[in-house]
Copies of this chain bind each other. A is one copy, B any other.
Amino acid sequence: MRLVRAALELCVEQGYQSTTIAEIAERAGLTRATFFRYFPDKREVLFAGQEEHAALLTAGIQAAPPGATPLQTIATSLDALTATFTREQHAWGPALIATVAASEELQERDARKTAVLTAAMTSALVERGTPEPSARLAAELGSLALKRGFARWAHDERDDTATFAEHTRAALADLHVAATTLA
């Protein structure tokens, strides 16, 4: 959406700290009041979609076949989320990653987003009958795979959703192999 794009453009041009809500709204061709209809503060514009992402992951887990293992269920769930990403989000990817990496405040918000998505996946797995701590661990792997998949997709010239799904599934598979070789 326009406010997110405007915010990222300004962060790239002048940094997150120097960017004001008024500037973001102006760049988006909107008023400051309109900004506050969508977001409570400047930080939130960069984490737009957290609740929808959590809902998509939950729905993906609920839709997985009854006999699916926790990891297969997580893979289905990640597919459901990655399928909603657009070429525009791919194009913003490197700017978003660099902006978050440059600010402790944004890293903190990012850590909360990860915790929210992990908690949503854990709850949905537990509701399917996956016992703790398997549910939590599978959800952690899912969140890590998503983060790694996004970073790889952002820096991949292929900008289609299938590529995001592919990187995320590959990251999940790598993490699963790693999980069997820790002891």
Contacts and interface: CB of A to CB of B under 8 A. Distances in A.
Interface of A: 69-72, 104, 107-109, 111-112, 114-115, 133-134, 136-138, 140-141, 144, 148, 171, 174-176, 178-183
Copies assembled:
2
Nearest to A111: B111
A176 B181 contact: no
Contacts of A134: 178, 181-182
B182 A137 contact: yes
Nearest to A115: B111
Given A140-B140, A140-B144, A182 B71 contact: yes
Nearest to A72: B183
A90 to B, nearest CB: 23
A182 B109 contact: no
Contacts of A175: 133, 137
Contacts of A115: 107, 111
A136 B144 contact: yes
Given A69-B182, A69-B183, 11 more contacts: A71-B182, A107-B112, A108-B111, A111-B115, A134-B178, A134-B181, A136-B144, A138-B182, A176-B183, A179-B182, A180-B180
Nearest to A131: B178
Identify the interface centre among A69, A174, A182: most chain B CB within 10 Å of its CB.
A182
Contacts of A137: 141, 144, 175, 178-179, 182
A175 B136 CA distance: 9
A69 B138 CA distance: 22
Nearest to A173: B183
